[in-house]
Amino acid sequence: MDNGRGTGGDLRFGVLGCADVAVRRLLPALARTPGVRLARTASRTPDKAGKVAAEFGGATAPDYTALLAAADVDAVYVPLPAALHARWIEAALRAGKHVLAEKPLTTSARDTERLHALALERGLVLRENYTFLHHRLHDRVAELIAEGAVGEPRLFRSAFAIPARPPGDIRLRPELGGGALLDTAGYPLRAAVRFLGTGLEVAGAVLDSGGAAVDLGGGALLRAPGGVVAQCSFGLDHAYTSHYHVVGSAGALSVEHVFTPPADRVSRIEITGPAGTRTEEVPADDQWANAVAAFARAVRAGEAGTTAQTRAQARLVGEVAAAAQRDTGPAPAPRTDPTHP
């Protein structure tokens, strides 16, 4: 098996589990991305795997272990509950498969570092699937900041929150790694890392459970080595919110609907400065297909391990949890040893 690094042939994906995000997002993106294809699907419910294969192609595997042993699978996509990621990512890497895992990569910085080391040792690519990072919008924002559109950056504010989840949703189950910190918080935190770098430190944090078994919302105050302050807010029981703002010494820019834009949505950046306010449009972009294509390029280029940004993200999440416990008392914490099969 050439693990997808050769110049010929598609990168062959296996999917561990038929989660909603896999069926609605990843598999359609695979279908519209050249050079990749679905080879096998496994599910704890065989009927689901059969339906996926019928719609998107490929064969089924009787279980996750059998899929990882399949010779016609080069890389696996892991959309399982967060608390199961470390176990199955490790199994995939030991089986010689590249891994694209839904966010968060794991539920702890220690596991993230350990799996990064294993991926490097095996010469395998390991990536965390924050698809918004692959939208052209954020590159344009970075260009505007570099061009001095806001002067010297002083403040970064971002929020991502979604409406209340239905009873039984995995985001509400602590044994599966639920809670806002491991789910919606990742977006504003990762945006802060994207624009301010990997050296961010946590100055303070709060998590609120509202009496639930997991944290339903919160916020973090971060500081960058250069003095820029970042405010990140997140929630699982809120009106839908998805934005970031950069305030500088000479202006500001704002973008709404930054984390989950449809592939046909034109994005707009509002830029305010001494000359007034203007709006710049950024063409629609397919961040899911872009993420799949970027993963395939990393495999073919032999870019083993995960990224410094992913490891910084894992560290920040742990530090936010520790700061929240220090500042406001214990909040429900995700268990990392679930009995979920």
Residue numbers annotated as active site: 103
Q: Say how far residue 125 (Cα) sits from the centre of its chain.
A: 16
Q: To which residue do tokens 């971002």 refer?
A: 158
Torsion region of 267: left, alpha or beta (phi above 0 gives left; psi -120 to 50 gives alpha): beta
Looking at residue 2, the DSSP 8-state letter turns out to be: -
Pairing of strands 98-102, 252-256: unpaired
Residue 234 to residue 189: CA distance in whole angstroms = 9
Instruction: Show the tokens assigned to 29.
Output: 């993106």
Q: Is 82 helix (H, G, I), strand (E, B) or coil?
A: helix
Residue 256 to residue 47: CA distance in whole angstroms = 39
Instruction: Show the tokens assigned to 8.
Output: 């010929």
